[in-house]
Chain A
């Protein structure tokens, strides 16, 4: 039975393993055909910055993987506005993530939604399972 899963990402990408671990659990959950949505808040917004280059720190750059989320039917990726603004960032600083709508001739549609804390509260209330990283 499919449940509504929400993964809340709150950690920057390379300082700890949380961001990568979250991404792996997200992909596994989606592979098991659960209804998966993502939130990026606090330092989690740094996970989606464009142009990450990790060669010199000897770690895998996993940021290109986010662009595959659409292929896993993940259509809702929520960015908390307050967290983004507090860090001097805008949506232009983040990857542009899309999904393809098969009911609309495979048109590419935005997965990223900029939401306020208040909107996030109701999105979170609507979920069956919340897993925070």
Chain B
């Protein structure tokens, strides 16, 4: 999995609580072959998971991707799958992350649901 900037994500990165940002950043792009192989054509969502976490995305075909690589716009959905290790240089590895994926009927969490589950300490 690689994560990065897209035009739609960037144009809404200062309106993160908006529906437009939700649509832009909770999508997962994959090759047509992987899309078909996972049986995603009938409106299913896609569940991505690894040792760091799991979350549901809306699948989209990107013809520029090769089999075995998925692209997710940078943001809180993608970052559920990123580990904390910085390799001694301060920067987590946001790209080249191994993940498992499967089709699912589960819904995508919206941004408030995504953060509602985080336990906050009272100051």
A pairs with B: no
Which residues does B use to contact A, with CB under 8 Å?
none
Binding site for B on A (CB under 8 A): none
